[in-house]
Amino acid sequence: MAVWNVIEHDELGASAATWTESSISASYDHLCLKMSMRTDNGDRGYWLIELSGDTTAGNYSWTQLYSGVTATPSADRATSGCALSWTTGVDATADTFASAILWIPNYANTSHYKQMVCRSGAENATTTNNEWGLMVAAGLWASTAAVDQITLTPDADFLQYSTFTLYGINGA
């Protein structure tokens, strides 16, 4: 049976340009980050992830399947930076936050690159393009280093009351 251990739970008391969890112990099998976010972007926004302080965009890549930009589901891929989730912007319905779940399996293993899988929904009470979104994304960090830090940088500040809960999972 899997055991979920809360490593950190943060609720922002004010707007923030980034969210970081550092000094992550290597004593778990996997990491899971659950988020509820709203940003200062007008429409729907996104965030970029950096692991273990690695800011070299070329060390990250991602693939996305999404809906909400237009009425037609779409896919995208990039080999620089890592955008895995959308966020709800300030033009969305009041007090509405995006939700996302990010998995980093085998994060402490030092013999392979790190994979990430994220699913997210940028909520809004509209069907207007670019004002809501659903996404499933996969990312890769081309490093064999163990993940000991996670930094999320949104395209516009995370707003007050955004929450981030990081779990260490054993036995799964």
- pLDDT per 10-residue tile (average), the chain, 172 residues: 95 98 97 96 87 96 84 86 86 88 98 96 76 87 98 96 98 79
- 8 A C-beta contact, residue 20 and residue 166: no
Which residue do the tokens 């699913």 mark?
119
Residue from 143, 152, 74, 155 nearest 110 by CA: 143
Residue 73's CB is within 10 A of a number of other CB atoms, namely 11
Quick: pLDDT tens for 42-76. 877 889 999 999 999 999 999 998 887 677 888 88
Domain of residue 149: give its range.
Answer: 3-170
What total number of domains does the chain contain?
A: 1
Task: Quote the CA–CA distance of 155 and 118 in Å, as a whole number.
Answer: 17
pLDDT at 23: 95
- 8 A C-beta contact, residue 114 and residue 147: yes
Residue 15 belongs to domain with CATH number: 2.60.120
Determine phi and psi for 33, rounding to 5 degrees: -115, 120
